[in-house]
Structures are given as structure tokens and as C-alpha cells.
Amino acid sequence: MDCNCPNPTELSEIGNVDCGVDLNQVQRIAVQRGGAYEFDESASPTPQDVKVLSVWQALKTATDDTKIVFTPMIGGDPIIEPGEAITVGGGDNSTLNGVEEVQGVNPSKFSCVFKSLPATIEKQMKSLMCEKNLVVYLFLQGGKVAVINAGTGVYKGFTAQSLFVSDRGNQGFGTQDAVNFSFSFPAGWSDDLEIVKLNFNPFTDI
Amino acid sequence: MATKTFVKLKAKDQKKEAKPVEFEIGQANKLLKLSNSQWELSDDKFQWNGIEIAKK
């Protein structure tokens, strides 16, 4: 959050909530190198409409930094833990009147579990840990995608840092092996969130 | 150094006014091989035999 001077002359307006916005369940993730691509509905000569399957297919088969890879369906426990406030002091002599000072926001953390992954897929997913500049697209229940609104008809993925894919865990008889998957979103990751209904099924069509 | 071959494909799910896009032939082959490909060949110099793109 940028709180540097000068302050606005008045408080910034907060609009009315006409309808709620919820991600609901994240069910699949697409990963791409950061800074390489934006979906742009009005791009010329060929629109790069985020809602259109052919655009995603071109990215899936790309041979440069625009290439997108898709995880298998998430097996369970997809959650996003919002970053907590970074504070100083509170109830001691380090701040004026002992009042806690909020100095920033920690990253948010996405985590989930992939179940019964073949070793080849597990290994392929682990190669993402060597990448230092990634963005992700979150496919949501109902076949929608969560993206960053970067302008009229322009969308991009969320920056994902510290991506981690664990080794296989096993809980014994009658259980499925599990691979833990996580990454961090930088503070403010959801400020320009938009949920877009796709013209195709991102769980079966790609 | 070998020169790359580019092939024009047209998206079937884009608006009609969308123009064909040039892809390197390797990527074009991958796109046309997808089971539910939304791309089709749009290049007079090439043909698609269901397996790979070849020059006419």
C-alpha cells in the first residue's frame, strides 16, 4: 500500500456494493512466466480474448516466454491465507502511547494438495520451483478464471513467488498420496481482481 | 542456420474479422493436433493431412 505524501485532499470514495464477489473454490491453476504476456481483447491484428479457447491453446503450445502450463485438477484444501499486518510496538515503550503501528502487509499464501499424482507429473511440476518470475491464473469452480484487470479488456496473471512443490506424502492403507503445493501472492494481489466467465471448460477442454 | 517455416492458421472461435495468425510450423502442428483444436489451416502454400502440415 503506497501511503507516501502527498495525501489526497479528501478521503478516497468507497463505492456501494451492488453484488458480492467470491472466488469460491480454486480448482486448477495455469502458470506462465511473468511480464511476457497480457490478454487483450482489442489487440490487432488478432484479439487475445481471455474468454476464448483458441487463445489459451496458442499459449499452451507456445515455444517462448508466453507459454502457459496447466496443473492437474487440485485434489483438495485450496485456500488463500491473506497476509497479516506488519506491526511495530503495542503495549510497550517502542511507540507513542504504546499504540501498535501498522507498517505494511505480509504476502498472502495459496496452498493446496494434489492427490495421486504420477511421478512424472510431480517432477514436471517441481521444475516450476526453478523459475523466479511467474504469474498464475486461477481457474475457479463454475469454469471461471480469476485474473488481474489491467485495463479495458486487458487481463494478466497474478504474480506468484516462492512457488513450492513438496515431495510425495503417504498416510498408509486406504489413502491417497499427496503432494503439497504453495506459492505467495505479493501484498495487494487482489486489488484489481476480476472473475471472468470463459467460453469453454478450463477443466476438460485444455 | 536453418530458416524457420511459418504457417498461417485461423482461429475458429474468434470473431469473423479476426485475421489468420502466423505460427512456426512446429507450434502449428501442435495446435492442429489438439483433440479439440480451435485452429484450422489458412495458408494456400500448405495442407494438413490429419497428422502433419506439409507443403503443397
Chain A interface disruption, residue of B5, B10, B25, B27, most A CBs within 10 A: B27
For residue A183, which of A140, A142, A133, A141 has the smallest C-alpha distance?
A133
Residue numbers in B near A205 (CB within 8 A):
36
Which pLDDT does position B1 carry in this prediction?
63
A20-A193-A200-B53 Cα dihedral, nearest 10 degrees = 180
Instruction: Tell me if residue A130 falls in helix, strand or coil.
Output: helix
CB contact under 8 A, B38 and A53: yes
**Mean of the pLDDT values across residues A2-19?**
90
In terms of Cβ atoms closer than 10 Å to its own Cβ (0-12, 13-18, 19+), residue A28 is buried
**If you average pLDDT over residues B9-15, what whole number do you get?**
90
- How many CB pairs below 8 A link A and B? 47
Q: Which helix (H) or strand (E) holds B39?
A: strand B39-41
Per-residue CA distances from A195 to A92, A154, B49 (Å): 44, 13, 39
Average pLDDT over residues A128-140: 97
Enter the pTM of the model.
Answer: 0.94
Query: So what's the ipTM on this one?
Result: 0.94
- B21 lies within 8 A of chain A by CB: yes
Nearest to A54 among B19, B26, B38 (CB): B38
Residue with cell 492437474: A72
